[in-house]
Amino acid sequence: MGLSEPYLVELKGITKSFPGVVANDSVDLSVAKGEIHALLGENGAGKSTLMNILYGLYEADAGIIYVRGRKVSISSPKDAIALGIGMVHQEFMLIPALTVIENVALGMHSTKEPFTDLDTVGKKLRELAKVYNFKIRLDAKIADLGVGEQQRVEILKALYRGAEVLILDEPTAVLTPQETRELFATLRLLVAEGKSVVFISHKLNEVMEISHRITVLRSGKVMGTVLAKDTSKEELARMMVGRSVAFEVERGTAKTGEAVLEVKDLVVKDAWGLNVVNGATFEVRAGEILGVAGVDGNGQEELVEAIAGMRRVSEGAVRIEGRDIAGLSPRQVAGMGVAHIPASRHKTGLILDMTVAENLILQSQYRSPFSRRGNLDFKVIRETARNLMKEFDIRAPGEDTKVRLLSGGNQQKVILARELARKPKVLLAVHPTRGLDVGATEYIRRKIVEARDSGCAVLLVSTELDEILNLSDRIAVMYEGQIMGIVDARYAEIEKLGLMMAGSLRMAG
Ligand SMILES: Nc1ncnc2c1ncn2[C@@H]1O[C@H](COP(=O)(O)OP(=O)(O)O)[C@@H](O)[C@H]1O
Ligand SMILES: [Mg+2]
């Protein structure tokens, strides 16, 4: 940009508090015309808040916004759109029963008021889609589109409304690697045309690949703005978490033993009677990690819940060391040596209003040494808790602290400590690091590898392909309730995994 040209968007001293937390603390951010500017930070760093302020969804407590050099006041998305600011949220805001064209036309003024002129909208959308190389079926209903396609609709909608600055809030979280690549190609086209993009992410690889400049937020504060070409993943990680981080967990080759967990032709139904797991077959051997990759919502969580005894097995079999466990309760399954890090820490992993010590012995409280002739032995319980807190680096004021008051990372360590302390034969780990900071992530991954090295059969479900590739010995890909293929992680090709995640490749094996 020229010297005399102001930034397209400039935020100065933006501050926003929610009860108990300063989400944005005097944040400065500038976006130039034609740049992709990444907003990088861990969960809870304040990224969405900042952009929701720019888009008029939240009102800042303090700070000034300039657009094209002029001070503006943005008090609703309508104001933002009028200034050429568009935003695609993490949750899409489309109406499933309507077509793409109808969704875009919604809320727009038309020349033939009060009826929206769908033909005109359709014509303009087709042109836009062509310019930006978008693969979208404009006449299809939203309900019939995949997630990637819905995201393209949201982007197209923003462009249709004249967005010059496009804000994308964690857009790649729901995409396969191929879809991510397509999105990046689109973003490059957009900025080549002179538009600007604010790309929100917590993934370092992506941010390094796609952006020109990167602003790092930590705990609501700007840690710095750097040029992507002048920085490194290591530097960005340090800015994000405030210390150095190891990206890859060290792991030796697997010493695998017998198949401990066997799943055969498993069918699990959802509340509507549809098959969410649709004939899954695989085994996990002692001493190996089988990673289950897939876009969120393809049956991975239901698969694990069925193994853990939390969901009914409709057809097929689940065996632990050869014994069929269909119909057993979660406690009975746990009693057979199955540990479980559930997808939802808060709903099924912990009892938030109980103490760290109490949470650490859940599922074991009725057994020796914690219980004797029906009486809980609090001395033993507290001592065990203190040891586990030390061993698993659980940071809490004490074992009597309510789990609700712990950070997400420490809550997850409580679950991990409880589950691994039982020396399980099988570990079911579902999104074990989701929402955690890089430090806690590194720690939990290391513990999972340790469990594998001590002979545990680990089933790891994650939507983060990096995590799957780093930890797994073999990788299964799940799509619409089916296992599309199982590959040796040493020879896994991201390309092929992506195709399987999208349902367009099936591999024998
Ligand atoms: N509507 C809200 N009400 C209360 N607290 C909120 C709200 N939105 C965000 N927060 C809090 O503000 C902080 C920043 O959140 P957010 O901007 O969503 O972070 P990020 O997008 O970087 O993950 C977090 O501590 C979050 O819990
Ligand atoms: Mg966010």
- The rounded Å distance from CA 200 to ligand 1 centre is 14
Nearest CA, atom 6, ligand 1: 18
For the residues 423-427, what does the mean pLDDT come to?
Answer: 96
Lowest mean pLDDT among 212-226, 355-369, 420-434, 480-494: 355-369
Percentage of residues of the chain with pLDDT beyond 70 = 96
Nearest CA to ligand 1 atom 5: 18
CA of 21 to the centre of ligand 1 (A): 8
Q: Residue 151 class from Cβ within 10 Å (0-12 exposed, 13-18 middle, 19+ buried)?
A: buried
- Give the number of whichever ligand sits closest to the CA of residue 52: 1
What number does the ligand 1 atom closest to the CA of 21 have? 25
What b/e sequence results for 23-51 when a residue is b if at least 16 CB atoms lie within 10 Å of its CB, and e otherwise? bbbebebbbbbbbbbbbbbbebbbbbbbb
pLDDT for res 509:
58
Residue 182 alpha carbon to ligand 1 centre in Å: 29
Atom of ligand 1 at shortest range from CA of 43: 23
**CA-closest residue to ligand 1 atom 16:** 46
Nearest CA to ligand 1 atom 27: 44
Of 256-270, 282-296, 444-458, 494-508, the poorest mean pLDDT is in 494-508
Q: 56 CA distance to ligand 1 centroid (A)?
A: 16
The protein residue with its alpha carbon nearest to ligand 1, atom 11, reads 23
Q: How far apart are alpha carbons 276 and 285 in whole angstroms?
A: 25
Mind listing the pLDDT tens digit for each residue in 382-411? Answer: 999 999 999 999 988 899 999 998 888 899
- CA dist 386 and 433 (Å) reads 23
Q: Whose CA is nearest to atom 8 of ligand 1?
A: 49
**pLDDT value at position 231?**
96
Name all residues whose Cβ lies below 6 A of ligand 1.
18, 21, 23, 41, 43-49
Ligand 1 centroid–CA 220 distance in Å is 9
Q: Which atom of ligand 1 is nearest to the CA of 45?
A: 22
Cα separation of 249 and 267, whole Å? 34
**For ligand 1, atom 24, which residue shows the shortest CA distance?**
44
**Which ligand does the CA of 407 lie closest to?**
1
**Can you give the pLDDT at residue 4?**
59
- Residue nearest ligand 1's atom 4 by CA: 18
Query: pLDDT digit string (tens) for 272-288?
Result: 899 999 999 999 999 99
Q: Of 1.20.140.10, 1.25.40.10, 3.40.50.300, 3.30.230.10, which CATH number belongs to 9-241?
A: 3.40.50.300
- Residue 341 alpha carbon to ligand 1 centre in Å: 25
Ligand 2 centroid, distance to 326 Cα (angstroms): 39
Task: Inform me whether the pLDDT recorded for 267 exceeds 60.
Answer: yes
State pLDDT tens for residues 15-68: 999 988 899 999 999 999 999 999 999 888 999 999 999 999 999 999 999 999
Q: What pLDDT is stored for residue 109 in this prediction?
A: 57
Ligand 1 mutation target, pool 49, 50, 200, most atoms within 8 A of CB: 49
- Ligand number nearest CA of 240 is 1
Q: Which bound ligand lies closest to the C-alpha atom of 219? A: 1
72 C-alpha to ligand 1 centroid (Å): 24
Gap from CA of 49 to ligand 1 centroid (Å): 6
Mutate to test the pocket of ligand 1, among 11, 15, 21 (most ligand atoms within 8 A of CB): 21
Please give the residue that has the higher pLDDT: either 86 or 344: 86
**CATH number of the structural domain 249-337+426-509:** 3.40.50.300
Compute, in angstroms, the gap from residue 50 CA to the centroid of ligand 2. Answer: 9
Query: How far apart, in whole angstroms, are the C-alpha atoms of residue 474 and residue 491?
Result: 9
* Nearest ligand to the C-alpha atom of residue 42: 1
CB 16, CB 70: distance < 8 Å: no
Task: Give mean pLDDT, residues 221-228.
Answer: 98
Q: Please tell me the distance between residue 169's alpha carbon and the centre of ligand 1 in angstroms.
A: 13
Please answer whether residues 266 and 302 qualify as being in contact, where contact means their C-beta atoms are separated by less than 8 angstroms. Answer: no
Q: Whose CA is nearest to atom 1 of ligand 1?
A: 18
Using an 8 Å Cβ cutoff, are 507 and 476 in contact? no
- Whether the upstream peptide bond of residue 369 has omega within 30° of 0, thus cis, is yes
CA 61–ligand 1 middle distance (angstroms): 15
Asked if residue 388 lies in contact with residue 421, where contact means CB atoms within 8 angstroms, the answer is yes
pLDDT band at 1 (very low <50, low <70, confident <90, very high): very low
Q: Mean pLDDT, to the nearest integer, of 81-90?
A: 95
Which of the ligands is closest to the CA of residue 90?
Answer: 2
pLDDT digits (tens, 9 = 90+) for 182-211: 999 999 999 999 999 999 998 888 999 999
The ranges of the chain annotated as CATH 3.40.50.300 are: 9-241, 249-337+426-509
Ligand nearest to the CA of 46: 1
Count of CB atoms situated within 10 Å of the CB of 90: 12
Rounded distance from Cα 218 to ligand 1 centre (Å): 12
HSE, CB side, 13 Å, CA atoms: give it for residue 378.
3
Q: Atom of ligand 1 at shortest distance to CA of 58?
A: 1
Dist. CA 216–CA 224, nearest whole Å: 6
Ligand 1 pocket mutation, candidates 11, 16, 18, 219, criterion most atoms within 8 A of CB:
18
Specify the ligand 1 atom closest to the Cα of 24: 14
- The answer to whether residue 12 scores a pLDDT higher than 60 is yes
Tell me the average pLDDT across 234-255.
81
* Two structure tokens written together for 299: 């049956």
